[in-house]
């Protein structure tokens, strides 16, 4: 049987699809380079202006976080001595270990408050956050304050001491503020956790900034997100007394898009203090999953919530640029199947024709050459973003992590597609899957406030060693 015609058509279709996806990504790279879009310096006078000071409520949803919650609170309370920052810990009545720690932290720190869910866990994260929002409004009367910013964080977050100042500054002109989120440094051979260093470096020092430049809606990253009081009240009035969709896997992503649909202003603040190194971007740092299957489970949830539930709940809206970036958000499952086909070609193509006649087509050769050249440019762009935050050694070791990232994203994209189809056919809700959290060893042991205007930017490369502040 002559498989040559089929082989050539197949190779043509995959090559053209790869080229289309490369052009999509290269457009972002070249726009950032041509327009000189990147992190911006901010003066201390502007950042620390007392006129910007706002009352801020940090909301943390917890399910079985007894291993990290106490250290997270102690470490960040030492880091955030500002009197206008309160932390609200959402816990479940049937998660007694986490609940006891939350109550313990509440008793120890006047600005920490435990919020016990009316439902047993685990529920979707959105349901828990809705409970926390309701409690905050009740607590305001007892505290005699009115919170102007409602902030999303997780129990594994290491907060830059300057980040409350950045939230307060952003609230002067915007109702939705997203700040950068980066992975804490890991060893070069930690190929799974290291992929988050690479991806978030690119997304939060380039992609989101280009997106903002084009005027498109900004999604929430789930942490490092601040919502104004006005926006919270709008969500409550328009969504049946709920800010977050209680049955969404990515409730955070959708609030960012809804903010734009309702005409509120959003901003992404990617800043470092003037005169300091660009690597010291004011941000949230955390460890992401370091086990292969944990990463797939987490990214399956992200892909399902963004690509499928996002399209269902939000749909397509706005002008060309709005729809273009929605496409970029939702192309993950398509990209997964494209990657699968690429792997299939690389493994089986050499066996389909001994003389490899399909490579004799000069037009096909040209497309393959363009794809190869485009991949080198893309990799160079990623190296540049990683180098800004982690240095050259880490940046160039990204070449070792690229295959791992491709496999994880492919597997999670295919898994999310299967999961969503099964849910649609059976009517069963997709189960919310918890991500295991961890903190740098030693974080939370320093109980005396440090200089709160010194940014946390470069932590120990060895996440098993003591945190270096």
- What is the secondary structure of 365-423 as a DSSP string? HHHHHHHHHHHHHHHHHHHHHHHHHH-HHHHHTHHHHHHHHHHHHHHHHHHHHHHHHHH
Q: How many CB atoms lie under 10 A from the CB of residue 311?
A: 13
Report the first-to-last Cα separation within the chain, whole angstroms.
Answer: 67
Band (pLDDT 50/70/90 cuts) for residue 358 is low
Residue 83 has pLDDT above 70, yes or no: yes
Band (pLDDT 50/70/90 cuts) for residue 278 is confident
Band (pLDDT 50/70/90 cuts) for residue 457 is very low
**33 vs 102, 272, 305, CA distance in Å?**
46, 19, 31
- The confidence score (pLDDT) of residue 357 equals 54
53 burial (CB, 10 Å; 0-12 / 13-18 / 19+) is middle
- Percentage of the chain beyond pLDDT 70 is 91
Band (pLDDT 50/70/90 cuts) for residue 454 is very low
Q: In this predicted model, what pLDDT tens digit does every residue of 385-430 receive, in sequence order? A: 999 999 999 999 999 999 999 999 999 999 999 999 999 999 888 8
> 401 versus 436: which is more confidently predicted?
401
Residue 81 has pLDDT above 80, yes or no: no
- The confidence score (pLDDT) of residue 11 equals 82
Band (pLDDT 50/70/90 cuts) for residue 450 is very low
Delimit the CATH 3.90.550.10 region(s) of the chain: 39-310
Residue 449 has pLDDT above 90, yes or no: no
Averaged pLDDT, 152-162: 95
Rounded to the nearest integer, the mean pLDDT of the chain is 89
- The confidence score (pLDDT) of residue 360 equals 66
Q: Which two tokens stand for residue 264?
A: 């509120």
- The confidence score (pLDDT) of residue 322 equals 96
**CATH fold of the domain at 39-310:** Spore Coat Polysaccharide Biosynthesis Protein SpsA; Chain A (3.90.550)
Q: Which of 5-14, 58-67, 103-112 has the lowest mean pLDDT?
A: 5-14
């Amino acid at each position: 049987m002559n498989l040559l015609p089929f082989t050539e058509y197949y190779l043509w279709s995959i090559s053209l699809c790869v080229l289309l996806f490369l052009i999509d990504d290269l457009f972002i790279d070249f726009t950032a380079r041509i327009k000189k879009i990147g992190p911006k310096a901010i003066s201390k006078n502007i950042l620390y202006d007392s006129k910007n000071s706002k009352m801020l409520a940090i909301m943390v949803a917890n399910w079985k976080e007894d291993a990290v919650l106490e250290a997270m609170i102690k470490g960040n309370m030492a880091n955030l001595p500002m009197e206008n920052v309160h932390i609200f810990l959402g816990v479940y009545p049937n998660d007694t270990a986490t609940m006891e720690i939350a109550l313990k932290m509440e008793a120890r720190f006047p600005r920490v408050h435990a919020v016990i869910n009316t439902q047993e866990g685990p529920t979707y994260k959105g349901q828990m956050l809705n409970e926390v929002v309701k409690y905050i409004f009740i607590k305001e009367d007892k505290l005699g304050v009115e919170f102007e910013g409602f902030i999303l964080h997780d129990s594994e977050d290491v907060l830059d001491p300057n980040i409350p100042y950045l939230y307060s500054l952003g609230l002067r002109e915007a109702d939705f503020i997203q700040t950068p989120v980066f992975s804490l440094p890991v060893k070069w051979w930690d190929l799974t956790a290291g992929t988050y260093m690479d991806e978030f470096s690119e997304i939060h020092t380039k992609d989101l900034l280009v997106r903002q430049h084009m005027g498109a809606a900004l999604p929430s990253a789930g942490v490092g997100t601040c919502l104004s009081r006005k926006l919270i009240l709008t969500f409550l009035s328009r969504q049946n007394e709920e800010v977050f969709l209680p049955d969404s896997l990515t409730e955070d992503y959708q609030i960012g898009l809804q903010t734009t649909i309702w005409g509120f202003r959003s901003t992404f603040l990617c800043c470092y203090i003037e005169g300091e190194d660009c690597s010291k971007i004011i941000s949230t740092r955390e460890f992401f999953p370091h086990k292969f299957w944990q990463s797939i489970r987490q990214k399956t949830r992200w892909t399902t919530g963004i690509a499928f539930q996002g399209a269902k709940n939000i749909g397509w809206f706005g002008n060309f640029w709005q729809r273009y970036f929605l496409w970029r958000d939702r192309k993950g499952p398509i990209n997964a199947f494209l990657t699968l086909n690429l792997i299939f070609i690389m493994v089986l193509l050499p066996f389909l024709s001994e003389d490899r006649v399909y490579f004799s087509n000069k037009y096909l050769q040209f497309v393959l050459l363009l794809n190869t050249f485009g991949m080198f440019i893309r990799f160079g762009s990623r190296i540049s973003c990683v180098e800004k935050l982690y240095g050259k050694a880490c940046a160039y070791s990204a070449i070792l992590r690229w295959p791992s990232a491709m496999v994880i994203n492919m597997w999670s994209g295919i898994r999310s597609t299967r999961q969503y189809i099964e849910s649609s056919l059976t009517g069963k809700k997709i189960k919310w899957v918890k991500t295991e959290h961890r903190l740098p060893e030693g974080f939370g042991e320093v109980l005396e406030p440090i200089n709160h205007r010194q940014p946390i930017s470069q932590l120990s490369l060895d996440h098993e060693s003591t945190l270096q502040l």
